A and B are shown apart, each in its own frame.
Chain A
Amino acid sequence: MIVKDAVCPFCGCLCDDIEVEVEDDRVVAVTNACELGTTKFMGEKRLKGPILRDGDEWKDITCDEAIRYAADMLLSAERPLLYGWSGTHGEAQCVGVHMAELVRGVIDNTSSVCHGPSILAIQEVGHPGCTLGVVKNRADLVIYWGSNPIDAHPRHLSRYTRYAEGFFLENAFRDRKVIVVDVRKTETANIADEFVRIKPGGDYAVLSALRAIVQGKTETIPRTVAGVTREQLIRVANLCKSAKFGAVYFGLGLTMTRGKYKNIRNAIELVSELSRHTKFTISAMRGHYNVYGSNEVNTWMTGYPFGIDFSRGIAFYNPGETTAVDVLARKECDAALIVGSDPAAHFPRRCLEHLADIPVVQLDPYPNATTAFCNVQIPVAVTGIDAEGTAYRMDGVPIRTRKVLSTDYLSDREVLSRMYALMQEAQER
């Protein structure tokens, strides 16, 4: 059987044109997906059933036991952390918010360690953006800044920019210029019309220089700015101003370096400035296929995109205090529920040392680095493969992922709903 128009649950591109060939409830071939997506669709190294750490051993337990364990753990915790969420569907994320509210926990998603700083910047200055199709059909200038789509979002270039057809572009490949700004000469830099190499930590200065040039203050620019020559800066500014439609896509190269959210703020203000001259937009290259969905769900349910603390009953938001890395590094939480992410692979060691000290339950289809810190892991169906549900693309477009095969695994939503029901019951007693 071939499933057409399947939705790839890997990166924020959320490609929905994938063909998946299924035989005997196994994926045997994948067409249209990139290497990342293909590997995910074909992946078979799943955990068979729930496991429990018993001293220095792992024991198999039933799903009911595992769910009960998780519910009890959260109910008896004083300050539980519910973290992850980017690797699951929106319906499960909604249950997660209700659970966090019930146990007065902290709920945070992986954006605190990817585009959290971008959100902080947006909360200061807003966000002039658009859907990916607007760029595909119109943009004659695309700037990748601190992002490397060839490695992290392989089909971004072919679906939306460099190699994409566009309604208003006669010959899209020729008529669309691509600029790459990075500290490394990445693979993406090799296919750019112009590569701007910045000294590490110099993004803010370069953005400020471009803003000054766009404002007509060229004479204030020194000979080089963070390793970029004045001539190149002027050339780039002119390319921007003369474009009919420009689009900036920025990545973790801006959010994780020195300056963090101030870099993004400067980039957004450059785009707002350019909007006075021509059409310009800016957007974040969101990583996980549904990290944007976790921001959306949290926002309509709590008012905030990430880092929400319910310990006072109300939703309280203070990134740097109520975000996962900080809560763990300060050894504040006394239990953790991890869903759809792998903090042990992606958090600094100090956070892991605390995870080792507290009870941890993880919902994840695969054994991963966090498994080592779990008391219980419950394998779940993979959204987009054996579970369906809503995901939000990096530009905010919601797409319902398809189920391409059936397994006995429960979905995240099913497991969490059962957990939540037990917790509600216990609260009423």
Chain B
Amino acid sequence: MTFLMITGRTVNQGVTVEDKTSAAYATETSTCFMHEFDMLELGLADHDTVRVTGACGEVVMRASASVEVEMGTVFVPYGPYANHIVAAGTHSTGMPDFKSHEVEIEPTDEEPKRVHELMEDLGGLAYDR
């Protein structure tokens, strides 16, 4: 199913933002907040994993029901998971489309990667000491 992905700040994202290697930060920023009916449609229970595919890649997140979002829209806390699929074009403004991204969402059996794994997939080297 096609959705509009919106990213934004949350308290939990902010609380963990200076501790990005923590599990709490990964959990928060890999959460895909969806409308209950949309989840029903996809056959998802709370905390089931979903594959989210954007214009330039895919990433696995965990779905979570939210009364805040409308049907057809998903909300993902600002962070490395959402950015894994956000395109870099800025339409000559310097600003990517962080709040207006079309994505495909489908159920999956895969688990979300850790932040470290995402970074290593792109050529980084995790620091974990």
Q: Mark A residues whose CB is within 8 Å of B.
A: 10-11, 35-36, 39-40, 43, 45, 51, 53, 56, 58, 108, 112-113, 116-117, 120, 148, 150-152, 154, 183-186, 197, 199-201, 252-253, 255-258, 260-261, 287, 306-307, 319-321, 323-326, 328-329, 342, 344-353, 355-357, 365-369, 371-373, 377
Closest residue on chain B to residue A327 by CB atoms: B94
- Cα A313 to Cα B9 in complex, Å, equals 38
- Cα A152 to Cα B12 in complex, Å, equals 10
Task: Please give 8 more A-B residue pairs, beta carbons under 8 A apart, in addition to A345-B20, A356-B124.
Answer: A58-B129, A108-B94, A200-B6, A256-B95, A320-B93, A349-B56, A353-B123, A357-B123
Chain B min CB distance to A338 (Å)? 13
| Sampled A-B contacts (29; CB under 8 Å) | A10-B14, A39-B18, A113-B95, A117-B95, A151-B10, A183-B6, A184-B69, A199-B70, A253-B99, A256-B7, A256-B99, A258-B97, A287-B9, A307-B94, A325-B95, A326-B88, A328-B88, A329-B88, A329-B89, A345-B83, A345-B115, A349-B56, A350-B56, A350-B88, A352-B123, A357-B123, A366-B19, A369-B119, A372-B120
Residues of B within 8 A of A307 (CB): 94
- With A258-B100, A348-B86, A367-B21 in contact, do A117 and B93 touch (Cβ < 8 Å)? yes
Most B CB contacts (10 A, CB to CB) among A347, A349, A350, A371 go to A349
Chain B min CB distance to A151 (Å)? 5
CB pair A325–B122 under 8 Å, yes or no, is: no
Closest residue on chain B to residue A60 by CB atoms: B129
Which of B29, B94, B115, B119 makes the CB contact (< 8 A) with A325? Answer: B94
- Cα A11 to Cα B18 in complex, Å, equals 13
- Cα A365 to Cα B116 in complex, Å, equals 18
- Cα A111 to Cα B117 in complex, Å, equals 28
Chain B, residues 84-98, CB within 8 Å of chain A (1/0): the string is 111111111111111
Which of A148, A185, A329 makes the CB contact (< 8 A) with B9? Answer: A148
Interface residues of B in 23-41 (CB under 8 A from A): 29
Closest residue on chain B to residue A343 by CB atoms: B83
CB pair B67–A185 under 8 Å, yes or no, is: yes
Residues of A within 8 A of B21 (CB): 45, 367-368
CB pair B93–A152 under 8 Å, yes or no, is: no
Q: Mark B residues whose CB is within 8 Å of A.
A: 4, 6-11, 14-22, 29, 56-57, 67-70, 73, 75, 78-80, 83-100, 115-116, 119-120, 122-127, 129
Residues of A within 8 A of B87 (CB): 348, 350
Q: Which 9 A-B pairs have the closest CB atoms?
A: A356-B123, A372-B124, A323-B94, A320-B92, A372-B119, A329-B88, A256-B99, A112-B94, A348-B88
CB pair A349–B85 under 8 Å, yes or no, is: yes
- Cα A372 to Cα B10 in complex, Å, equals 24
- With A112-B94, A255-B95, A320-B91 in contact, do A373 and B86 touch (Cβ < 8 Å)? no
Which of A186, A201, A319 makes the CB contact (< 8 A) with B94? Answer: A319
A-B contact count (CB 8 A): 195
Residues of A within 8 A of B9 (CB): 148, 151-152, 252, 287
Chain B min CB distance to A136 (Å)? 23
- Cα A116 to Cα B90 in complex, Å, equals 11
Closest residue on chain A to residue B11 by CB atoms: A151
- Cα A350 to Cα B86 in complex, Å, equals 9
Residues of B within 8 A of A39 (CB): 15-16, 18
Residues of B within 8 A of A342 (CB): 17, 20
Chain B min CB distance to A196 (Å)? 14
Closest residue on chain B to residue A112 by CB atoms: B94
- Cα A252 to Cα B47 in complex, Å, equals 27
Chain A min CB distance to B53 (Å)? 13
Closest residue on chain B to residue A344 by CB atoms: B119
Chain A min CB distance to B10 (Å)? 5
Residues of A within 8 A of B95 (CB): 112-113, 116-117, 255-256, 260, 325
Residues of A within 8 A of B78 (CB): 346
Which of B11, B29, B98, B126 makes the CB contact (< 8 A) with A256? Answer: B98
CB pair A43–B18 under 8 Å, yes or no, is: yes
CB pair A321–B100 under 8 Å, yes or no, is: no
Closest residue on chain B to residue A57 by CB atoms: B125
